[in-house]
Amino acid sequence: MATSVELVDVEGNKHVFCFATRLLGDRVSIEAYEEDADPGYRFQVLGGAEEVKKVFCKLLGKMRRTLTWQHLVEEDCGLAVADDLTMLGRFEWDNKPDGGVPLLVMMGRP
C-alpha cells in the first residue's frame, strides 16, 4: 500500500506527495516527491535507521515549512524573486527533446 500526504502551499494550491524509503546500512533516507507533477517539489531527509519515525516527522516538518514560504511572485514581466530575496530550489536536467541544459526548479516550477 502506497502512502501519500496532501499539503497546501502559501498560495492555496494542493500538492500530493508520495514517499520512498531507502535503507543505507545504519542510515535511512526518506524522500518525498510530488505526485503527477513534473518537476514538482522534492524533499529528502537522512537519519538513523533505528529512528525512522523521527526522520519522517523531520521530513514532514521540512515540507510544511517550505510550502509556507513565498519565493516567487507574479509581476507584469513574469516571475520574480520575492522581496526578502531568499530563493530555494534545485537543479535538474531538462529532459525535453530541445533541452539538454540544466533546469532550475523553484517552488516546484521549472
pTM confidence score: 0.73
End-to-end CA, the chain = 30
pLDDT in tens, 69-109: 876 777 888 777 776 666 667 777 777 767 667 777 776 77
Q: 72-75 and 78-81: which strand pairing?
A: antiparallel
